[in-house]
């Protein structure tokens, strides 16, 4: 199937590793003109080279910290100077730290809101009007299954992901008539660098081995294993494509069946 992504200009934030990297790689492979972004230049150089090795196309990159309004403004300026327009954004960043619900500090709350919620508001404000004007735009925000099922010891994620859904669902309704389609994709447990750290922490907290933790967690997933970033990136790529013409405002898990509610 031609996904109608050829030459579409798509920004992927948090693109140097993990889920963002997988989205960027598959979008590039499907013909999109992808701009990688994350905080660290050396991560971006290596991500861009890895994508070139795997797809034969080397994406450009721009360093930006999406928790900072100034960085988002500079990102917008750089993209408009170089490309003159934009067709889509995959909004992604690192996840907030775990911790006891009532023990997260003011700084941790502010940082989680800046990184995982206000980044979505600010990127949407910066780029959606351009997409509305051209009557084409696709936005996917990477959130978490914690939006549907609060996870223990992860209140910063549980709370900030729901705020993203409240904002983007509202925006999706506002801009759908302009063919700007906006969805949230909720990863379940997926094999990335972040997951390795999270599992190590779970094992320490629960006084178990890493193998025990992996066995217990996978037993709760109907598919019987953790996800791979490419499985996540493939679905995001479809939602970002010109082939997605009627899905908007949805929060869709890619979780091997982990969320077991009917809706
Ligand atoms: N993997 C899972 O199992 C899982 C499950 C549920 C939810 N999630 C969520 O999915 C998202 C991605 O997870 P992941 O596992 O792919 O994480 P990861 O492997 O740690 O990758 C995070 C990416 O985001 C970039 N980044 C971090 N903070 C940033 C910021 N402030 N501004 C711009 N870029 C930033 C990092 O690059 P730099 O260091 O270069 O900035 C890196 O490229 C996170 O929000 C995570 O909580 C993941």
Task: Please tell me the pTM assigned to this model.
Answer: 0.98
- Pick left, alpha or beta for residue 122 (phi over 0 → left; psi -120 to 50 → alpha; otherwise beta): alpha
What residue owns the CA closest to ligand 1's atom 20?
194
Q: Read off the pLDDT of residues 107-124 as tens digits, 9 standing for 90 and up.
A: 999 999 999 999 999 999
Ligand 1 atom closest to the CA of 47, numbered from 1: 43
CA distance 172 to 183: 8
Q: Read off the pLDDT of residues 3-33 as tens digits, 9 standing for 90 and up.
A: 999 999 999 999 999 999 999 999 999 999 9
- Considering only CA atoms, which of 2, 16, 192 is closest in space to residue 90? 16
With beta carbons less than 8 A apart as the criterion, state whether 17 and 255 touch. Answer: no
| Predicted pLDDT at 263 | 83
Ligand 1 atom closest to the CA of 21, numbered from 1: 43
Residue 44 neighbours by CB distance under 10 Å: 21
- What DSSP letter does each residue of 210-248 carry, written as one string? HHHHHHHHHHTSTTSS-B-HHHHHHHHHHHHSTT--S--
Q: Read off the pLDDT of residues 230-243 as tens digits, 9 standing for 90 and up.
A: 999 999 999 999 99
* CB-based pocket (< 6 A), ligand 1: 13-20, 38-40, 43, 65-67, 92-95, 115, 142, 144, 187, 189-190, 192-195
How far, in Å, from the CA of 93 to the mean position of ligand 1? 4
CATH code for the domain defined by 9-189+229-254? 3.40.50.720
Q: Count H helices, E strands: the chain?
A: 9, 7
What residue owns the CA closest to ligand 1's atom 45?
95
CA distance 190 to 19: 8
Rounded alpha-carbon distances, angstroms, from residue 41 to 3, 36, 37, 60, 65: 30, 10, 9, 12, 11
Mutate to test the pocket of ligand 1, among 75, 99, 149, 194 (most ligand atoms within 8 A of CB): 194
pLDDT at 194 over 90: no
Map tokens 């993209």 to a residue.
79
End-to-end CA distance of the chain: 29
């Amino acid at each position: 199937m031609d996904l109608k992504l050829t030459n579409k200009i798509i920004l992927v934030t948090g693109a140097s590793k993990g889920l963002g990297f997988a989205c960027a790689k598959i979008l590039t492979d499907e013909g999109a003109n992808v701009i990688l972004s994350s905080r660290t230049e050396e991560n971006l150089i290596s991500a861009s080279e890895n994508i070139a090795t795997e797809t034969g196309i080397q994406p450009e990159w721009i360093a930006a910290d999406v928790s900072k309004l100034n960085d988002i403004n500079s990102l917008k300026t750089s993209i408009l100077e170089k490309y003159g327009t934009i067709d889509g954004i995959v909004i992604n960043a690192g996840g907030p730290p775990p911790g006891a619900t009532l023990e997260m500090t003011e700084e941790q709350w502010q940082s989680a809101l800046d990184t995982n919620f206000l980044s979505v508001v600010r990127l949407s404000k910066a780029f959606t009007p351009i997409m509305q004007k051209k009557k084409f735009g696709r936005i996917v925000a990477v959130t978490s299954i914690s939006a549907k099922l609060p996870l223990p010891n992860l209140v910063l994620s549980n709370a900030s992901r729901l705020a993203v859904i409240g904002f983007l669902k509202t925006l999706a309704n506002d801009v759908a008539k302009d063919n700007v389609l906006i969805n949230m994709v909720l990863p379940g447990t997926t094999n990335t660098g972040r997951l390795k750290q999270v599992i190590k922490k779970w094992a320490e907290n629960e006084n178990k081995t890493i193998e025990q933790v992996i066995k217990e967690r996978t037993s709760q997933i109907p598919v019987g294993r953790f996800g791979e970033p490419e499985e996540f990136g493939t679905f995001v790529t479809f939602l970002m494509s010109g082939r997605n013409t009627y899905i908007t405002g949805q929060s869709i898990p890619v979780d091997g069946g982990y969320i077991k509610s009917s809706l």
